[in-house]
Amino acid sequence: MHTNDPLRPVVFAYTAVRDTLAAVATGDSRREPDDTVLAVSGAPVAGLNGVISPDLEPDPGVVEALADSASLRGLPWSIQVRGVPGPRISAVAARHGLTHVSAQPLMVRRCDAGTPSQPATGPLRVRAVRADELGLYAKIMAEGFGVPPEMFEIFADPALAEREGFTFYLAEVDGVPVGTGMAAVSGDLLGVYNISVLPDHRRQGHGLAITTEIVRAGHAAGATTAYLYSSAMGVPVYTSAGFHTAEILTWFTAPA
């Protein structure tokens, strides 16, 4: 059915990660027969609540039905669709007050790129964290993204560490945390998330080192294709790690 859409499994894996985060945080997630997802984490972050379609041509009726969920009321939320949305999806978003439109590049690192070499990182070390360290992980990630700690409290839940395929990483210099990353492995796909570096430690190659270590660990776990959604600022870093931009994800959110 989707043989002419080779990126659909990648976007499906992304929706599954959002689905899992919501299931752990609130138990409020729902997947429709066409795989459109309603995922409500309860976090005060638009990207962590809302409706995501993995299809190139999402069904406006399904998107609208999920967008009408009472679970979204009072929360920042989003509608996320692939590529340039058609007028019917844009109209659904507008009816729900989501009139700000932005785009994120989907970057993919294919299996033929091989296992990346580890860049020289000096005293930096990247390690997987234990469940009881997720509170520290969430704190460092919030500092790295420059947001209040409550925005990422959901990542402090030890239950996340028990989810199959999820691994959380801290980057440390002489034992002091300076950055974060997260891996979500599903079959041969590796999702790279939450790459952050504290302001005083940027421009030293730490973001690249964290990303590379996650990709190397993913390869060891059998995931040969890696993907991530990047900010515009992050594209050069991920390009140097062997990723290339494959398409965009369009976000509809409420105006600031």
What gap in Å lies between CA 251 and CA 104, rounded to an integer? 8
Same domain, 77 and 119: no
Mean pLDDT over 229-236 rounds to 93
In Å, how far are 25, 62, 123, 127, 169 from 177, measured between CA atoms? 25, 43, 12, 10, 10
Q: How many domains does the chain have?
A: 2
What gap in Å lies between CA 115 and CA 50, rounded to an integer? 34
Per residue in 35-94, pLDDT (tens digit) is 999 999 999 999 999 999 999 999 999 999 999 999 999 999 999 999 999 999 999 999
Domain boundary residue, one of 77, 106, 135: 106
Same domain, 89 and 39: yes
CATH assignment of the domain containing 124: 3.40.630.30
Residue 1: is its pLDDT beyond 60?
no
Same domain, 179 and 209: yes
Domain boundary residue, one of 106, 139, 163: 106
pLDDT at 162 (0 to 100): 92
Same domain, 66 and 140: no
Same domain, 67 and 127: no
Per residue in 196-212, pLDDT (tens digit) is 999 999 989 999 999 99
Name the nearest CA neighbour of 109 among 20, 230, 199, 206. 230
Q: Residue 1 falls within a domain, yes or no?
A: no
Q: Residue 239 falls within a domain, yes or no?
A: no
- For the CA atoms of 72, 62, 94, 10, the dihedral, rounded to the nearest 10 degrees, stands at 80
In Å, how far are 47, 58, 66 from 93, measured between CA atoms? 14, 13, 11
Same domain, 147 and 211: yes
Per residue in 136-146, pLDDT (tens digit) is 999 999 999 99
For 6-27, letters b (16+ CB in 10 Å) and e give ebbbbbbbbbbbbbbbbbbbbe
Same domain, 156 and 85: no
Domain boundary residue, one of 54, 89, 106: 106
Q: Residue 151 falls within a domain, yes or no?
A: yes
Q: Residue 255 falls within a domain, yes or no?
A: no
Tokens of 131: 């469940």
pLDDT at 118 (0 to 100): 78
Same domain, 79 and 141: no
Instruction: Residue 182: give the domain boundaries.
Output: 115-223
Contact 171, 181 (CB under 8 A): yes
Write out the H or E segment, with its range, that includes residue 40. strand 37-40
Q: Residue 254 falls within a domain, yes or no?
A: no
Same domain, 58 and 125: no
Same domain, 124 and 162: yes
- First-last CA distance in the chain: 39
- For the CA atoms of 139, 140, 145, 148, the dihedral, rounded to the nearest 10 degrees, stands at 20
* 98 torsion bin: left (phi>0), alpha (psi -120 to 50), beta (else): beta
Per residue in 108-135, pLDDT (tens digit) is 999 888 888 877 778 999 999 999 999 9
